[in-house]
């Protein structure tokens, strides 16, 4: 299968490019024709994080002529163990900007366009329509369904990847066969998103540092196959990789007649994505930033500080307070709390936000907050010493020393 590229057409390689791609040119099935196909290809990578970094490194190295990067995030020190485009000294810089700089150093003969933004319902169709292939490097369900549905709308192949702890997945969606019939897509594999509590992201569940590199390389390989027409894409096939067992399992799936995208009114589903995926997003009315947390503990003599993580997480690192895991918040006796602010925290802010919503229904008149970014943000913040000093002066329910 050959992807038709956008309006840029190159019919030759420069001498420096011939030197750079010489090992590709030696492969008969690639040669000059395949390398020119790579040079003429336009690929959009959504997310420049764990998956996006290895994808971008190898797509740039093999000579994809035009690469788009969309990512609104800034670099955090917790990213560096798996997001190999970045360094500790890059903390606070925009991922897309740093990625572009490093990739241009790697290969100065390609074009890179950055979008410091989140892919959303307003920009997805216009942006994705500019590219030949889209690579999903995201870690949340709203983004994955939005990317999938927009690729279906615009007729673009989508290279999917997902990771958590020691396992990763790769597949290719929306590939057309010789008869112009579209293959299966994300909604054929996962018809609807699971509850957020059952599907934590890497910030909550963790991930083996090398795993994104492995899965990202699989994704980059699928892009190369799509562009050059070599091999058999992972269309209708889900590759599952187990890093601990060093095994791969392949699961087959096919297009389903129940897929809402195949309904005559399928285009309306794009506007329903936020509602469909609402179980993965919590309202933000309870979110408290680290700066606001610092001001609060400076102003109040007594607060309730609650860690809603699991015990094994708390034993590794904690900022104190009492330990009430998320699963036990619902059954906590209301009489336990008195009329002082309640601040909940977890690893990244996801579970504590759920806990805040639960407590708000139980204690409608209490001041309840979820610490934005959780422990991860706290450790990386320049406010860390000041917050710890203020915590030492504040009477927290069950406060223990940071360890």
Name the nearest CA neighbour of 171 among 87, 113, 248, 80.
Answer: 248
Ranges of H-type helices in 155-277 = 186-189, 202-205, 211-228, 269-276
Angle, to 10 degrees, between the axis of helix 31-40 and the axis of helix 211-228? 110
Residue 184 and residue 178: Cα distance in Å, rounded? Answer: 15
**Does the annotation mark 202 as catalytic?**
yes
Q: Which helix (H) or strand (E) holds 184?
A: none
What the block records as the tokens of 234 is 């992972």
Residues 230/29, Cβ–Cβ less than 8 Å:
yes
What distance in Å separates the CA atoms of residue 57 and residue 347, rounded to the nearest whole number? 29
Report helix, strand or coil for 122. Answer: coil
Question: Residue 191 and residue 376: Cα distance in Å, rounded?
Answer: 32
Question: Considering 53, 151, 202, 277, which one is annotated as catalytic?
Answer: 202
φ/ψ of 287, rounded to 5, equals: -70, 135
**Which residue in the block uniquely carries the two structure tokens 């788009």?**
68
Select which of 53, 151, 346, 396 is catalytic: 346
Q: Is 346 a catalytic residue?
A: yes
* Residues 351, 376 contacting (CB under 8 angstroms): no
171-207: string of b/e by CB count within 10 Å (b at 16+)?
Answer: bbbbbeeeeeebbbbbbbbbeebeebeebbbbbbeeb
Q: Which residues have a catalytic role annotated?
A: 202, 346
């Amino acid at each position: 299968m050959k992807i038709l590229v956008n309006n840029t057409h190159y019919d030759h390689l420069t001498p420096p490019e011939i030197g750079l791609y010489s090992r590709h040119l030696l492969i008969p099935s690639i040669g000059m024709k395949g390398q020119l196909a790579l040079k003429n290809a336009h690929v959009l990578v959504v997310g420049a994080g764990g998956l996006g970094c290895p994808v971008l490194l190898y797509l740039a190295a093999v000579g994809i002529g035009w690469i788009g990067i969309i990512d609104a995030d800034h670099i955090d020190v917790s990213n560096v163990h798996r997001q190999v485009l970045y360094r500790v000294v890059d903390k606070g810089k925009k991922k897309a900007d740093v990625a572009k700089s490093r990739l241009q150093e790697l290969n100065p003969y390609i074009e890179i366009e950055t979008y410091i933004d989140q892919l959303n319902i307003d920009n997805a169709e216009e942006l994705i329509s500019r590219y030949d292939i889209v690579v999903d490097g995201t870690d949340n369900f709203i983004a994955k369904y939005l990317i999938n549905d927009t690729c279906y709308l615009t007729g673009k192949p989508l290279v999917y990847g997902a990771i958590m702890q020691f396992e990763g997945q790769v597949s290719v969606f929306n590939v057309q066969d010789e008869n112009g019939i579209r293959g299966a897509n994300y909604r054929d594999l996962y018809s609807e998103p699971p509850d957020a509590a059952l599907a934590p992201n890497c910030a909550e569940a963790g991930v083996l540092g090398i795993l994104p590199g492995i899965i990202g390389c699989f994704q980059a390989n699928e892009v190369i196959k799509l562009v050059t027409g070599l091999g058999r894409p992972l269309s209708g096939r889900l590759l599952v990789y187990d890093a601990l067992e060093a095994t791969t399992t392949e699961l087959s799936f096919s297009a389903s007649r129940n897929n809402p995208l195949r309904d005559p009114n399928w285009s309306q589903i794009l506007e329903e994505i936020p509602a469909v995926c609402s179980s993965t997003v919590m309202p933000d009315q309870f979110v408290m930033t680290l700066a606001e947390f610092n001001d609060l503990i400076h102003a109040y003599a007594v607060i309730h500080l609650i860690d809603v993580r699991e015990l094994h997480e708390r034993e590794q690192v904690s900022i104190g307070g009492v330990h009430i895991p998320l699963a036990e918040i619902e059954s906590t006796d209301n009489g336990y709390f008195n009329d002082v602010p309640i601040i909940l925290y977890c690893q990244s802010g996801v579970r504590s936000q759920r806990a805040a919503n639960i407590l708000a229904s139980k204690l409608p008149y209490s001041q309840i907050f979820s610490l934005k970014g959780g422990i991860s943000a706290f450790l990386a913040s320049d406010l860390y010493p000041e917050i710890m000093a203020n915590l030492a002066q504040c009477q927290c329910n069950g406060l223990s020393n940071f360890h």
